[in-house]
C-alpha cells in the first residue's frame, strides 16, 4: 500500500515492439551502455528491469485496489525466505518470454546465457524458508492481500564446495553485482532499541505500563521485492529489513584522534545484525546475535504493520479485524511481547484490551517435533537485551498460569510443564509456549505432525485449548516446481488436459489418470523424463566430472543433511549394492545413478563427516570399472532452489526415509511426486498423505511407523543386535570400518561407525533390512517399464492436493478469515 491514493500512470505497453523499445531504452538510460558494447551482466540487468517494470504496473494497481478496499491483510513473519531465481518466474508471470526469445535471438544472445547472472537470494536454509516462498506465491495467485516480512541478510546460506570430499563453506555475497528485483524504501525506515532500562509509569495504578529506555538503537532500512500472482493482476510484496547504524554511531571524536577502527565500532556492531543468515536447520542455536536478529525483524515489521493500518484506520478496537499475523515457527515469536509493549507502553491501551487484540492478531505455525529445535532463550539474556519484553513475558505468564490453575486446581505439575518459563539451573523462556499462549490458532504442517504435536510436544496446551489446534498440510507452488522446472512435462500435461487451467487448479491433474492407460501417452511421458535426465546428466558432468547414464534409474536424495533424515541409511544401501556387485560381478543389476544434494550446518560435525563419506563412496564407485557399470554416485555441490529445479524433473525415485515421527512434513517429497518420481519412504510427515492419495500400489513403503519406532526406543534399542543379526548390514558397516573409503585408513570414518553402532539415535540399523528389501522391489518394478511409467503418471495425476494454493485456501478458511481483493487490469 502506498502512502496516498496512487494516481495511475501506466508507462509500459504490452506488445513485442513496446518491450523491445523499453529494453533498448533501459540499456541506454538505466545501464548507460549500448547494444554494441553491452556485456552479459548489462544484458541481464536490462532484461530484468524491463520485465520488472511490467510488474510495477500491476503492483501500483494492487496498491490502489487495496487502498480502496481497506481489506484485512495477512502479514507473514518469517526469518527465512528461499525465493529462488526471479527472472524466469517473472517472464512467466508477465507472459513476456514469448517476446524475449525472438528479441534475444535477434541480438545473438540466449536467455539461458543471461540467466547465469540471475542470482538466487539464499535467505533461508531449507523447507521452512521455501514454504514461506510458496505460500507468498499462492497468496498472490489467490488475490489475498498479504505482505511477507523478513531480514535482508547481507550473506545468505553459505555456498557449499568440496575440498577432498569435505564440505567447505564460502560466503554467499548475493548482492555483489546488485539485485535488480529489489526496491529500497528508505522513507519507511524504523528505529529499533536494545538493552537499557525500564521505568515505572507513576500515573499507572496497575503497574503494568512502563517506559523502556533502550541503551542502543539501530536503524532498520526496508527494501521490497515484488511477489506476483500467476494468472492474476495481484502483485504483493515481501519487505526485507537491513540493519544500519543510527546516525550518531559514527564516533567523530575518536576518528579525529586517529582511532579509525574504534570510531566505526558501533556501526559494525549495528550492521552485524543483518549480516548473515544462521546456517542452521532444525536445531536451536543459542546465540545473542540471533535473538537480536529476531527482535530486529519483529520490531521493524510491527511498526510497519501499524503504519499501514493507520493509513486507512484509527483506534485500536479494529486492529485485529484488519491485521492477521502468521508467525513462521518460533523465530518471530517475540512479536507477541512487542505488540503488547507497543499497545500498552506507547499507545496507552489497557493491558486486558491489549492482550485481547494481541491474541486475536497472532497465529503460530510449528514446523518441528525435534526437542532440540524448540527454541528457548535464557532469561538472563532477555533481561539484558530486551528488559521490557522480559517483564511483559512475566506478566503474560502470570495471567496465563492463573488460568491454568483455575482449570486444574491443585495441579502444580501441569503449571510447571506449561509455564512459559522453564525452571532449572538456568531459567529459560520457552518460545513455543509463548507462541501458543499469544495466538488464536496453532497449526502443524502435516496430519501426523499435528497429531503428534497435540499428543506430545504441546499436549497440555491441546488439552486446555483444543479449539486452537489445526492441521494445515504443506504444499508447493506448481508454477515454479512443475511449469518452470519441467516445461516439457508441463506441455505434455497441457496437451492432455486441453488447457493450462491445471496451473491454478492442480486437482485437474486427475484428468491424467485415464491417459496413464494410453501406451502412446506413456511413451511420451517416458520421453520427457529421459530428455530431462539427459540434461541433468550433462549438468552433473559439468559440475562433478562424473558421467551418468540417462537410462539408469535416477535415485535422488535431496535435502539438508541431518541425522533424522537418515542419509546414513541411504549410504548403507549404496554400500550394500557395491558389496553385492563385488561378490557377483556377472549377475544382472538394475543400473542406478544415486544423486545426493544438500548442505550440513557448518557446526554439525557428524553430518559433515557423512558428506565426506558420501563423496568418498562416490569416488570408489565411479572409478571402479566393474561397479561403475551398474552404479554411479554423484553429489553436485551447493544444492539450492535453482539446482532443485534441475534435479526434480529428472528423478525416478524420491528418497523420503526419515525415521517415522521426526520429519514434520517435507515438501521435497511433494515436488518429486508431482514430477512423476516414485517415492520410497517411511510413514512420516506428508509421506503418509502422499501415499494415501497416489495409492499404496504406487508408493514404496518400508520401515517402522511412528508408534513402532517409539516402542522400540522404549524397549531399549540396541543397534548392535541388528548389526549382528544381518549379514549384509554387518558387511556394509564393516566396509566403512575397514577404511575402504579412506585408502585403508580406518580412523577417518570411525566416528560414523561409532555413531551407528553406539547410539544410532534415529534407528537406521533397525530399518535397514526393510529398506534394502524395499529397494529390491523398486529395482524389480523398474524392469517393467510400462508399469513404472503408469505409476509415475498416477503420482503426478493424484498429487494435485499438494499445491500450496490449497494450503493457502485452508489457512484462509480456518485461520486467517481473509477475503481476496480482485485487481483490475
Ligand atoms: O519437515 C520440514 C517441513 O516440511 C521441517 O523440518 C522444516 O519445515 C518444513 C516446512 O514446514 C523445518 N525447518 C525448521 N524447522 N522445521 C527450522 C528450525 C530452525 C531453524 C531453521 C529451520
List the domains of the chain with CATH numbers: 70-85+120-473+809-816 (3.40.50.2000), 478-802 (3.40.50.2000)
φ, ψ for residue 656, nearest 5 deg: -130, 75
How many Å lie between the centroid of ligand 1 and the Cα of residue 368? Answer: 6
Q: CB under 8 Å to 182, separation ≥6 — which residues?
A: 223, 224, 225, 240
Supply the DSSP symbol for 350: -
φ, ψ for residue 138, nearest 5 deg: -70, -35
pLDDT 10s digits, 295-305: 999 999 999 99
Between vectors from CA 744 to CA 742 and to CA 746, what angle results, nearest 5°?
Answer: 75
How many Å lie between the centroid of ligand 1 and the Cα of residue 420? Answer: 22
pLDDT 10s digits, 582-609: 999 999 999 999 999 999 999 999 999 9
* Spatial distance between the Cα atoms of 326 and 439, rounded to a whole number of angstroms: 9
Q: Where are the beta strands (DSSP E) in 287-328?
A: 323-328
- For the CA of 284, the nearest atom of ligand 1: 19
How many Å lie between the centroid of ligand 1 and the Cα of residue 665? Answer: 8
- pLDDT at residue 247, rounded to an integer: 74
* Spatial distance between the Cα atoms of 160 and 155, rounded to a whole number of angstroms: 13
Q: Which of 281, 332, 376, 566 most suits a substitution to test ligand 1, by most atoms within 8 Å of the C-beta?
A: 281
Give 654's strand partners: 556, 679
Q: Which of 127, 293, 331, 365 most suits a substitution to test ligand 1, by most atoms within 8 Å of the C-beta?
A: 127
pLDDT 10s digits, 555-573: 999 999 999 999 999 999 9
CA dist 293 → 82, 125, 241, 288, 393 (Å): 18, 16, 10, 9, 19
- For the CA of 666, the nearest atom of ligand 1: 4
Supply the DSSP symbol for 382: H
Which of these, 490, 550, 480, 498, lies nearest to 524 by C-alpha position?
Answer: 490
pLDDT 10s digits, 305-360: 999 999 999 999 999 999 999 999 999 999 999 999 999 999 999 999 999 999 99
How many Å lie between the centroid of ligand 1 and the Cα of residue 446? Answer: 12
- For the CA of 329, the nearest atom of ligand 1: 15
Task: Work out the number of other CB atoms within 10 angstroms of the CB of residue 357.
Answer: 21
pLDDT 10s digits, 731-786: 999 999 999 999 999 999 999 999 999 999 999 999 999 999 999 999 999 999 99
Which of these, 213, 389, 432, lies nearest to 299 by C-alpha position?
Answer: 389
Task: Work out the number of other CB atoms within 10 angstroms of the CB of residue 137.
Answer: 27
Task: Work out the number of other CB atoms within 10 angstroms of the CB of residue 775.
Answer: 23
Length, in residues, of the chain? 825
| Angle between helical axes of 97-106 and 87-94 (0-180°, round to 10) | 120
Which of these, 381, 368, 385, 379, lies nearest to 331 by C-alpha position?
Answer: 368
φ, ψ for residue 677, nearest 5 deg: -85, 145
| 18 exposure class (CB count in 10 Å sphere: 0-12, 13-18, 19+) | middle
- For the CA of 375, the nearest atom of ligand 1: 19
How many Å lie between the centroid of ligand 1 and the Cα of residue 367? Answer: 5
* Spatial distance between the Cα atoms of 172 and 158, rounded to a whole number of angstroms: 5
Which of these, 224, 365, 392, lies nearest to 308 by C-alpha position?
Answer: 224
Euclidean distance between the first and final Cα of the chain, in Å? 17
Q: Where are the beta strands (DSSP E) in 100-175?
A: 122-123, 146-151, 159-163, 166-170
Name the closest-CA residue to atom 14, ligand 1.
282
> Using 50, 70 and 90 to split pLDDT, how confident is the model at 13?
confident
Percent of the chain surpassing pLDDT 90: 93
- pLDDT at residue 372, rounded to an integer: 82
- For the CA of 80, the nearest atom of ligand 1: 21
Between vectors from CA 206 to CA 203 and to CA 210, what angle results, nearest 5°?
Answer: 60
Question: Collapsing DSSP states into helix, strand and coil, what is residue 621?
Answer: helix
CA dist 554 → 308, 498, 567 (Å): 50, 30, 16
Name the closest-CA residue to atom 21, ligand 1.
281
CA dist 230 → 227, 475, 494, 812 (Å): 10, 16, 16, 18
Mean pLDDT of 519-543: 98
Question: Collapsing DSSP states into helix, strand and coil, what is residue 732?
Answer: helix
How many Å lie between the centroid of ligand 1 and the Cα of residue 77? Answer: 15
Name the closest-CA residue to atom 10, ligand 1.
128
Give 211's strand partners: 199
Which of these, 797, 709, 715, 717, lies nearest to 760 by C-alpha position?
Answer: 717
CA dist 380 → 288, 331, 426 (Å): 11, 19, 8
Mean pLDDT of 131-149: 99
How many Å lie between the centroid of ligand 1 and the Cα of residue 374? Answer: 11
Question: Collapsing DSSP states into helix, strand and coil, what is residue 515?
Answer: helix
Mean pLDDT of 652-657: 99
Name the closest-CA residue to atom 22, ligand 1.
281
> Using 50, 70 and 90 to split pLDDT, how confident is the model at 281?
confident
Q: Which of 123, 126, 663 most suits a substitution to test ligand 1, by most atoms within 8 Å of the C-beta?
A: 126
How many Å lie between the centroid of ligand 1 and the Cα of residue 129? Answer: 8
- pLDDT at residue 468, rounded to an integer: 98
* Spatial distance between the Cα atoms of 406 and 422, rounded to a whole number of angstroms: 20
- For the CA of 474, the nearest atom of ligand 1: 11
Q: In what order do the strands lie in the sheet with 376-378?
A: 376-378, 428-430, 421-422
| 606 exposure class (CB count in 10 Å sphere: 0-12, 13-18, 19+) | middle
* Spatial distance between the Cα atoms of 248 and 216, rounded to a whole number of angstroms: 11
Strands 182-184 and 210-213, how do they pair? unpaired
* Spatial distance between the Cα atoms of 470 and 475, rounded to a whole number of angstroms: 16
Task: Work out the number of other CB atoms within 10 angstroms of the CB of residue 170.
Answer: 11
> Does residue 439 contact residue 362 with C-beta atoms inside 8 Å?
yes
How many Å lie between the centroid of ligand 1 and the Cα of residue 127? Answer: 5
Name the closest-CA residue to atom 18, ligand 1.
282
Number of H helices, E strands in the chain: 36, 25
> Using 50, 70 and 90 to split pLDDT, how confident is the model at 154?
very high
Residue where the block lists cell 494454493:
805
Q: Which of 664, 689, 807, 810 most suits a substitution to test ligand 1, by most atoms within 8 Å of the C-beta?
A: 664
Task: Classify residue 58 as left (phi > 0), alpha (psi -120 to 50) or beta.
Answer: alpha
* Radius of gyration from C-alpha coordinates of the chain: 27
Supply the DSSP symbol for 411: -
* Average pLDDT value over all residues in the chain: 96
Strands 362-365 and 323-328, how do they pair? parallel
pTM score? 0.97
Q: Where are the beta strands (DSSP E) in 22-86?
A: 73-77, 81-82
pLDDT above 50 for 2: no
CA atoms within a 13 Å half-sphere pointing along the CA-CB vector of 341: 24
- For the CA of 685, the nearest atom of ligand 1: 1
pLDDT above 50 for 47: yes
DSSP H helices in 685-748: 687-694, 706-714, 719-725, 727-737
Give 326's strand partners: 76, 363
Question: Collapsing DSSP states into helix, strand and coil, what is residue 745?
Answer: coil
Q: Which of 78, 122, 128 most suits a substitution to test ligand 1, by most atoms within 8 Å of the C-beta?
A: 128
Name the closest-CA residue to atom 4, ligand 1.
666
- pLDDT at residue 266, rounded to an integer: 86
Name the closest-CA residue to atom 19, ligand 1.
282
> Does residue 296 contact residue 245 with C-beta atoms inside 8 Å?
no
Give 245's strand partners: 218
How many Å lie between the centroid of ligand 1 and the Cα of residue 672? Answer: 18
Name the closest-CA residue to atom 17, ligand 1.
282
CA dist 687 → 142, 683, 700, 703 (Å): 26, 6, 11, 13
How many Å lie between the centroid of ligand 1 and the Cα of residue 563? Answer: 14
How many Å lie between the centroid of ligand 1 and the Cα of residue 223? Answer: 26
- For the CA of 127, the nearest atom of ligand 1: 9
User: Residues lining ligand 1, judged by CB closer than 6 Å?
Assistant: 125-128, 131, 280-282, 329, 367-368, 373, 445, 474, 663-667, 685
Q: Active-site residues: which are they?
A: 367, 559-560, 565, 667, 671
> Using 50, 70 and 90 to split pLDDT, how confident is the model at 665?
very high
* Spatial distance between the Cα atoms of 28 and 218, rounded to a whole number of angstroms: 38
Q: What is the DSSP string of 477-490?
A: -HIIIIIIT-HHHH
How many Å lie between the centroid of ligand 1 and the Cα of residue 126? Answer: 7
Helix (H) or strand (E) holding 399: helix 387-407
pLDDT above 90 for 11: no
- For the CA of 130, the nearest atom of ligand 1: 10
Q: Which of 131, 133, 282, 566 most suits a substitution to test ligand 1, by most atoms within 8 Å of the C-beta?
A: 282
- For the CA of 368, the nearest atom of ligand 1: 16
Amino acid at each position: 500500500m502506498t502512502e496516498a491514493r496512487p494516481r495511475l500512470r501506466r508507462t509500459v505497453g504490452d506488445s513485442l515492439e513496446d518491450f523491445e523499445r523499453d529494453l533498448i531504452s533501459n540499456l541506454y538510460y538505466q545501464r548507460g551502455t549500448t547494444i554494441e558494447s553491452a556485456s552479459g551482466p548489462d544484458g541481464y540487468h536490462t532484461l530484468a528491469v524491463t520485465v520488472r517494470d511490467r510488474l510495477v504496473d500491476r503492483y501500483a494497481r494492487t496498491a490502489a485496489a487495496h487502498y480502496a478496499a481497506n481489506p484485512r491483510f495477512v502479514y507473514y513473519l518469517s526469518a527465512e525466505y528461499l525465493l529462488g531465481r526471479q527472472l524466469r518466474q517473472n517472464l512467466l508471470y508477465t507472459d513476456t518470454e514469448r517476446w524475449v526469445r525472438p528479441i534475444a535471438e535477434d541480438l545473438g544472445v540466449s536467455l539461458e546465457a543471461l540467466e547465469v547472472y540471475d542470482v538466487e537470494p539464499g535467505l533461508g536454509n531449507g523447507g521452512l524458508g521455501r514454504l514461506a516462498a510458496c505460500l507468498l506465491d499462492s497468496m498472490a495467485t489467490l488475490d489475498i492481500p498479504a505482505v511477507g516480512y523478513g531480514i535482508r541478510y547481507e550473506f545468505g546460506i553459505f555456498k557449499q564446495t568440496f575440498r577432498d570430499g569435505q564440505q567447505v563453506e564460502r560466503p554467499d555475497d548475493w548482492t555483489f553485482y546488485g539485485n535488480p528485483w529489489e526496491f529500497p524504501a528508505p522513507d519507511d525506515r524504523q528505529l529499533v532499541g536494545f538493552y537499557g532500562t525500564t521505568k515505572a509509569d507513576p500515573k499507572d495504578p496497575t503497574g503494568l505500563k512502563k517506559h523502556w529506555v533502550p541503551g542502543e538503537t539501530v536503524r532498520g532500512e526496508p527494501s521490497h521485492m515484488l511477489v506476483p500472482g500467476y494468472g492474476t493482476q495481484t502483485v504483493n510484496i515481501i519487505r526485507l529489513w537491513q540493519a544500519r547504524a543510527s546516525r550518531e554511531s559514527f564516533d567523530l571524536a575518536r576518528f579525529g584522534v586517529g582511532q579509525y577502527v574504534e570510531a566505526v565500532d558501533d556501526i559494525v556492531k549495528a550492521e552485524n545484525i543483518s549480516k548473515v543468515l544462521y546456517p542452521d536447520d532444525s536445531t536451536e542455536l543459542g546465540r545473542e546475535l540471533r535473538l537480536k536478529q529476531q527482535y530486529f525483524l519483529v520490531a521493524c515489521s510491527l511498526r510497519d504493520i501499524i503504519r499501514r493500518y493507520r493509513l486507512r484506520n484509527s483506534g485500536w478496537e479494529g486492529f485485529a479485524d484488519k491485521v492477521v499475523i502468521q508467525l513462521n515457527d518460533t523465530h518471530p515469536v517475540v512479536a507477541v511481547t512487542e505488540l503488547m509493549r507497543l499497545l500498552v507502553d506507547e499507545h496507552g491501551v489497557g493491558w486486558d484490551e491489549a492482550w485481547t487484540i494481541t491474541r486475536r492478531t497472532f497465529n503460530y505455525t510449528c514446523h518441528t517435533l525435534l526437542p532440540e529445535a524448540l527454541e528457548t532463550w535464557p532469561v538472563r539474556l532477555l533481561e539484558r537485551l530486551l528488559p521490557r519484553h522480559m517483564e511483559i513475558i512475566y506478566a503474560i505468564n502470570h495471567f496465563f498460569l492463573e488460568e491454568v490453575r483455575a482449570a486444574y486446581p491443585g495441579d502444580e505439575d501441569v503449571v510447571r510443564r506449561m509455564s512459559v518459563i522453564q525452571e532449572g539451573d538456568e531459567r529459560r523462556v520457552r518460545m513455543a509456549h509463548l507462541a501458543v499462549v499469544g495466538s488464536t490458532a496453532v497449526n502443524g504442517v502435516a496430519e501426523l505432525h499435528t497429531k503428534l504435536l497435540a499428543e506430545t510436544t504441546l499436549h497440555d496446551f491441546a488439552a486446555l485449548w483444543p479449539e486452537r489446534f489445526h492441521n494445515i498440510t504443506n504444499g508447493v507452488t506448481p508454477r515454479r516446481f512443475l511449469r518452470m522446472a519441467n516445461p516439457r512435462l508441463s506441455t505434455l500435461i497441457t496437451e492432455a488436459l486441453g488447457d493450462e487451467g491445471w496451473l491454478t487448479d492442480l486437482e485437474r491433474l486427475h484428468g491424467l489418470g485415464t491417459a496413464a492407460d494410453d501406451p502412446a501417452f506413456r511413451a511420451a511421458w517416458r520421453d520427457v523424463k529421459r530428455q530431462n535426465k539427459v540434461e541433468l546428466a550433462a549438468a552433473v558432468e559439468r559440475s562433478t566430472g562424473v558421467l551418468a547414464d540417462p537410462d539408469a534409474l535416477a535415485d535422488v536424495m535431496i535435502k539438508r543433511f541431518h541425522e533424522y533424515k537418515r542419509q546414513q541409511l541411504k549410504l548403507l544401501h549404496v554400500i550394500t549394492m557395491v558389496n553385492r556387485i563385488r561378490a557377483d560381478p556377472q549377475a544382472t543389476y538394475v543400473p542406478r545413478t544415486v544423486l545426493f544434494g544438500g548442505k550440513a550446518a557448518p557446526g554439525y560435525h557428524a553430518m559433515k563427516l557423512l558428506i565426506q563419506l558420501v563423496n568418498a563412496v562416490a569416488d570408489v564407485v565411479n572409478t571402479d570399472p566393474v561397479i561403475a557399470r551398474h552404479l554411479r554416485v554423484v553429489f553436485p555441490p551447493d544444492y539450492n532452489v535453482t539446482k532443485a529445479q534441475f534435479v526434480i524433473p529428472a528423478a525416478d525415485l524420491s528418497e523420503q526415509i526419515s525415521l517415522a515421527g521426526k520429519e514434520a512434513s517435507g515438501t521435497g517429497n511433494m515436488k518429486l511426486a508431482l514430477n512423476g518420481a516414485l517415492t520410497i519412504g517411511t510413514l512420516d510427515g506428508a509421506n503418509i498423505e502422499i501415499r494415501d492419495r497416489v495409492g499404496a500400489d504406487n508408493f514404496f513403503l518400508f520401515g517402522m511407523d511412528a508408534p513402532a519406532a517409539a516402542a522400540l526406543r522404549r524397549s531399549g534399542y540396541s543397534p548392535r543386535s541388528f548389526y549382528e543379526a544381518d549379514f549384509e548390514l554387518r558387511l556394509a558397516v564393516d566396509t566403512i570400518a575397514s577404511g575402504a573409503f579412506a585408502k585403508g585408513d580406518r580412523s577417518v570414518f570411525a566416528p560414523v561407525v561409532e555413531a551407528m553402532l553406539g547410539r544410532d539415535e534415529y534407528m537406521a540399523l533397525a530399518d535397514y533390512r526393510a529398506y534394502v528389501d524395499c529397494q529390491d522391489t523398486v529395482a524389480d518394478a523398474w524392469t517393467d517399464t510400462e508399469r513404472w511409467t503408469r505409476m509415475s503418471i498416477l503420482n503426478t495425476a493424484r498429487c494435485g492436493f499438494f499445491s500450496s494454493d490449497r494450503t493457502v485456501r485452508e489457512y484462509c478458511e480456518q485461520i486467517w478469515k481473509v477475503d481476496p481483493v480482485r485487481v483490475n487490469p
